[in-house]
Amino acid sequence: MTATTLGARPRLISFPDPVNEVSARLVATGVVIMAVATVAFDQPWILVALVYGFLARVLTGPRLSPLGQLVTRVVVPRLPLAVRPYPGPPKRFAQGMGLAFSTTSGLLVLLGYRPAAWAVLGLLIVAASLEAFAGYCLGCKTFALLMRFGIIPEDVCERCNDIWARPAA
């Protein structure tokens, strides 16, 4: 039994497993909107929100992420869409990749390399757009390749090949 099934409070630093693919795609849509606004309006301060959001989602899933909370508590419950479970570890890895790209972009802005920062953010926009609009998660595909090559041990995500092996939380 887990702490949640025993009635205890969930740990603050934990990631949901499985995650709702619908929520993940809507969060990615929010990331696309914020990143495009950053570049289109030349507003690097938005990077602070992007970096924080990715960091919060890597550490806790949607729990400490304002965008994650908006999507999971407000948007998704109002949509007539069924929950689509997807293993958590690849989605967490994808959030980590988003954190790396948004942090790199922010550091480049601070160092005065704004064109390079926007190029890196452009890569994030492409990846988030693929997730948001086509349901293709580059982070998840990278995670799978790293597992295939033995860089990520199989026990990290035993359910990744069969999300039906465990009932949805």
Q: What do you get for the CA distance between the two ends of the chain, in Å?
A: 12
CA distances from 2 to 79, 152, 160, 163 (A): 30, 24, 20, 19
Q: What is the pTM of this model?
A: 0.85
Question: In b/e form, how buried is each residue of 24-48, taking b as 16+ CB within 10 angstroms?
Answer: bbbbbbbbbebbbebbeeeebebbe
Q: What is the pLDDT of residues 37-72, one digit of tens each?
A: 999 999 999 999 999 999 999 999 999 999 999 999
**Of 57 and 14, which is predicted with more confidence?**
57
Q: Average pLDDT for residues 76-87, to the nearest whole number?
A: 92
Number of H helices and E strands in the chain, helices first, is 6, 2
CB 107 within 8 A of CB 47: no
CB proximity list for 26: less than 8 A, separation 6 or greater: 71, 75, 76, 132
Q: Which two tokens stand for residue 48?
A: 């602070």
Rounded distance between C-alpha atoms, residue 42 and residue 18, angstroms:
36
Residue 108 has pLDDT above 80, yes or no: yes
Summarised one tens digit per residue, pLDDT across range 135-164 is: 999 999 999 899 888 898 888 877 665 544
Kindly list the domain boundaries of the chain, sorted by start residue.
19-165
